[in-house]
Amino acid sequence: MQFELTREYLNDLKEAIVRNDELALIELVHELHPADVAEILDELELEEATVLYKVLDANIASDVLTHMDEDKRDRFLGSLSSKEIAEQLIDNLDSDDAADMLNLFAQEQKEEIISMIEDRQQARDIVDLLHYKEGTAGALMAKELIRVNVNWTVSTAVKEMRKQAEAIDHVYTVYVVDGEGVLVGRLPIKKMLLTPLKTLISDIYDSQIKFVKVDEDQEEVVSMMEKYDIVALPVVDEFGRLQGRITIDDVVDVIREEAEKDYALASGISGDVDSSDNVLTLTRARLPWLLIGLLGGILGARVIELYEGDLQLYPEMVFFIPLIAAMGGNAGVQSSAIIVQGLATKSMGMSGILPKLGKEFMVGLLNGLVCAVIIFGYNMIFGDSLALSYTVSLALLSVIIIATLFGTFVPLILDKYDIDPALATGPFITTVNDVLGLFIYFIIGHLLYIA
In terms of CATH, what superfamily is 146-248?
CBS-domain (3.10.580.10)
Q: Are 90 and 60 in contact (CB under 8 A)?
A: no
* Arithmetic mean of pLDDT over the chain: 86
Whether 234 has a pLDDT exceeding 60, the answer reads yes
pLDDT at residue 91 is higher than 90:
no
* Lowest-confidence region among 46-60, 242-256, 421-435: 421-435
In the chain, what are the domain boundaries?
A: 7-138, 146-248, 279-450
d(Cα 197, Cα 208) in Å, to the nearest integer? 23
pLDDT at 175 > cutoff 70: yes
If one compares 290 and 220, the residue with the highest pLDDT of the two is 220
Q: Give the integer Cα–Cα distance in Å for 389 and 259.
A: 42
Beta carbons of 140 and 146 less than 8 angstroms apart: no
Query: Per mean pLDDT, which of 85-99, 238-252, 351-365, 428-442 is the most reliable?
Result: 238-252
d(CA 438, CA 446) in angstroms, rounded, equals: 12
Going across the sheet that includes 174-177, the strands are 146-149, 174-177, 183-187
Sign of CA dihedral 320, 322, 325, 329: negative
* Res. 261: pLDDT tops 80: no
Higher pLDDT, 253 or 96: 96
CB-CB contact of 370 with 396 (8 Å) = no
Read off the pLDDT of each residue in 268-275 and give the average, rounded to a whole number.
Answer: 63
Cβ–Cβ under 8 Å, residues 439 and 416:
no
- % of the chain residues with pLDDT over 70: 92
Q: What is the pLDDT of residues 325-362, one digit of tens each?
A: 889 888 988 888 888 877 776 666 656 778 888 899 99
pLDDT of 277 reads: 66
Q: Is the dihedral of CA 335, 353, 413, 270 positive or negative?
A: positive
State the pLDDT confidence band at 131, using cuts at 50, 70 and 90: very high
- Residue 371's pLDDT band (boundaries 50, 70, 90)? very high
Checking if the pLDDT of 375 tops 90, the result is yes
Q: What is the pLDDT of residue 279?
A: 79
Q: What is the pLDDT of residue 265?
A: 65
Q: Which of residues 198 and 78 earns the better pLDDT score? A: 198
CATH of 7-138, one of 3.40.50.720, 1.20.1050.40, 1.10.3720.10, 1.25.60.10: 1.25.60.10
- pTM here is 0.71
The CATH fold of domain 279-450: Tetracycline Repressor; domain 2 (1.10.357)
